[in-house]
Structure 1
């Protein structure tokens, strides 16, 4: 059965790259959200298997970690796996402290470790 992924805060070209990477390696579909309001609305309306949040949202350069906080504080949404998209280890660490799974950066699509992180959720 196909998995559903919500991609939050990436620009069009980055969304396309993430979509190509994920759909090449997993049976999944991607939806896109741009900020707090549409992300939470999409999550409440649909059944998503994974949320990928850009560390800095393309729309207004706000911090994606705030969306992570809201998801993990919501009793209905808190169990959905979330990963932060960033190349910076310190931001990955901060996201994990809030309940996220260790994510990956846009430069890490070709790394076998990235697929290993995603396999338990999307495989």
Structure 2
């Protein structure tokens, strides 16, 4: 059964790269949002198997961890798996402390380790 992924806050080229990697690796569809309001609306309107949040949102360079925090504080959304997209381990650590799965950076796309992180959720 195809998995449904929400990509939050990535620019067009990064979204395209992430989408290409995911759809070539897993049976999935991907939607995109750009900020807190449209992300929460999307999550309330459909079931997603995974939310990928850019650490710095392309739209206004705000911190994606705030979207993660709002998802995990919401009783209806908190069980949705979320990963932060960042190359910096300290930001991955902060995301995990808030309830996210350990994510990956854009530099790690296509690596076997990234596929292994996603396999339990998307495989």
TM-score range, shorter chain: over 0.9
Give 1:111 deviation, angstroms. Answer: 1.5
Structure 2 residue runs of 5 or longer lacking an equivalent are none
Q: What does 1:40-51 align with in structure 2 at a 5 Å threshold?
A: 40-51=40-51
In 1, Cα distance between equivalents of 2:48 and 2:93: 23
The match for 1:75 is: 75
The match for 1:29 is: 29
3-state secondary structure, aligned to 1:94: helix
In 1, Cα distance between equivalents of 2:21 and 2:66: 26
Q: TM-score, normalised by structure 1?
A: 0.99
Q: TM-score, normalised by structure 2?
A: 0.99
Give 1:16 deviation, angstroms. Answer: 0.5
3-state secondary structure, aligned to 1:77: coil
3-state secondary structure, aligned to 1:5: strand
3-state secondary structure, aligned to 1:32: strand
3-state secondary structure, aligned to 1:48: coil
Please state if 1:91 is matched with 2:97.
no
In 2, Cα distance between equivalents of 1:113 and 1:80: 22
Please provide the CA RMSD for this pair.
Answer: 0.4
Structure 1 residue runs of 5 or longer lacking an equivalent are none
In 2, Cα distance between equivalents of 1:15 and 1:43: 18
In 2, Cα distance between equivalents of 1:110 and 1:28: 16
Q: In the comparison of the two structures, how many residue pairs are matched? A: 123
Q: Which runs of 4+ in 1 moved over 4 A?
A: none
